[in-house]
């Protein structure tokens, strides 16, 4: 799904996004929460996809 570089960029975007939105006190905004939630779930899904892909490759 995503390669290592893209995963690191998304993780950095997530961390910076939470930090900046927290300082600006806009974390309660629905649009900001939606964007950060989508990025978070993309990272989590990519972790599970990468683990299942590597386990499947080791078994074959």
* Residue labelled with tokens 């806009």: 26
More confident residue, 53 or 48: 48
Largest CA distance in the chain: 50
Q: Mean of the per-residue pLDDT values for the chain?
A: 91
Nearest to 32 by CA among 20, 21, 23: 21
Question: What is the band of 27 on the pLDDT scale with cuts at 50, 70, 90?
Answer: very high
Per-residue confidence (pLDDT) for residue 1, from 0 to 100: 79
**pLDDT band, residue 60 (cuts 50/70/90):** low
- Sorting pLDDT into bands at 50, 70 and 90, what band is 2? confident
Q: Which positions ≥6 away from 14 have C-beta within 8 Å?
A: 36, 39, 40, 43
CA–CA dist 30, 45 (Å, integer): 22
Neighbours of 40 (CB within 10 A): 15
pLDDT value for 15: 97
**What mean pLDDT is predicted for residues 6-27?**
95
């Amino acid at each position: 799904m995503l390669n290592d570089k893209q995963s690191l960029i998304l993780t950095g975007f997530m961390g910076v996004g939470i930090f900046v939105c927290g300082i600006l006190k806009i974390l309660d905004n629905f649009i900001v929460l939606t964007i950060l939630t989508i990025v978070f779930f993309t990272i989590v899904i990519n972790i599970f996809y990468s683990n299942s892909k590597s386990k499947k490759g080791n078994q074959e």
